Amino acid sequence: MSVELSKKGLILSATGLAAGYDGRAIVSGINIEATPGKVVSIVGPNGSGKSTLLKSLVGVVKVLDGSVKVGEKTITNMPPEEVAKIGVGYVPQIDDVFPPLSVKENLEIGGYLLKRNEIHGRIDAVLEFFPKLKVMMSRKAGKLSGGERKMLAMGRVLMLSPSVLVLDEPTANLAPIVATQLLEEYIRGFADFGSTVLLVEQRAKAALRISDHTYVLGGGRVVLEGAPGDLQNNPIFVESFLGGGAALRAPKE
């Protein structure tokens, strides 16, 4: 990575985590850990609670039980603005940019916590990483294509040089070639630089290709986990994700 966009990572972990809406748990009994220099992915069928899990880690959805830590700091139910401050950058699956704001303004909001004189330097660094954005700085984010929009969403979180990147289905609605580039070039690049990357990904094969460790969610629980090589040899995983079989179910208690 030519420019230092992210910081050396911190461990992001959740222990015994339950989270959901209106006091009702969507995910429960979750124990996960994402470590510096690694891409850790979460895969699972639709409705398995992947996005809810990520949102609970970054303070958007209420944690009902268990704890979340970044490094030595407990961030359970910490407001999202504080989570951003301690170095966790979160890119949601949808609504990942501010559509009425220009590309430049989106990046400026990404750097909201920076000092005024630091913002332009950071924007230059982000643009060096995503040069395509350079020519569309005054364009409204709502007018961008899917790939451009996702670059901007990533650029926005990189403005604060995060230690931990939490990415919710970054390749959703992207053309395959753009999705591959995003995963293999950019996202893998952050981990290789030393940052912590926690990724929810619908494309299981693609996720496995860049991951160091993968958790499989089913029915709101972790039903499988392991290194990509191990999972690819697991018949349940193969049947569910690589062979088009039945969706995974949570184990009965």
Partner 1 sequence: MSSFGFGLISAAVLAIATVGFTMQFAVTNVLNLAYGSIMINSAFVTYYVNEHGVNAWVALIGGVLTGAIASWVLNRFVYTPFQKRNLAPITVVIVSLGIDLMGTFGLQAIVGGGYVSFSQNQGREFHFAGLLLSSLQLIVIGICAVVLVGVHGLLKYTRLGKAMRATSANKNLARNSGVKTQFIISTTWLISGALCGLAGTVFAMNAGVFEATSAQLYIVLLLAAMFLGGPGEPYGAMFGALIIGLSTEISAAYINPDYKDVIAFIALIVMLMFRPFGIFGSEKTN
Task: With beta carbons less than 8 A apart as the criterion, state whether 105 and 152 touch.
Answer: no
Closest to partner 1 by CB, 90 vs 186, is 90
CA distance 147 to 151: 6
Which strand (E) or helix (H) includes residue 193?
helix 188-193
Please state the closest distance from residue 143 (CB atom) to partner 1, in A. Answer: 11
Please state the closest distance from residue 240 (CB atom) to partner 1, in A. Answer: 31
> 3-state DSSP call for residue 15?
strand
Please state the closest distance from residue 102 (CB atom) to partner 1, in A. Answer: 10
Secondary structure percentages of the chain, helix, strand, coil, to 5: 40, 25, 35
Give residues 74-113 in contact with partner 1 (rule: CB under 8 A): 79-81, 83-85, 90, 92, 95-101, 105, 108-110, 112-113
Please state the closest distance from residue 168 (CB atom) to partner 1, in A. Answer: 11
Closest to partner 1 by CB, 90 vs 129, is 90
Residue 52 phi, psi (nearest 5)? -60, -40
Q: Hunting for tokens 């999972």 — which residue is that? A: 231
Backbone φ/ψ region at 162: left (φ over 0), alpha (ψ -120 to 50), beta = beta
Residue 91 phi, psi (nearest 5)? -115, 110
What x-and-dash track marks residues 167-206 binding partner 1 by CB under 8 A? ----------------------------------------
Q: Contacts with partner 1: how many residues (CB under 8 A)?
A: 29
Angle between helices 103-110 and 116-129 in degrees, nearest 10: 120
Query: Site for partner 1 (CB under 8 A): which residue of 27, 54, 57, 58?
Result: 58
Residues lying near partner 1 in the complex (CB under 8 A) = 58-60, 79-81, 83-85, 90, 92, 95-101, 105, 108-110, 112-113, 116, 142, 156-157, 160
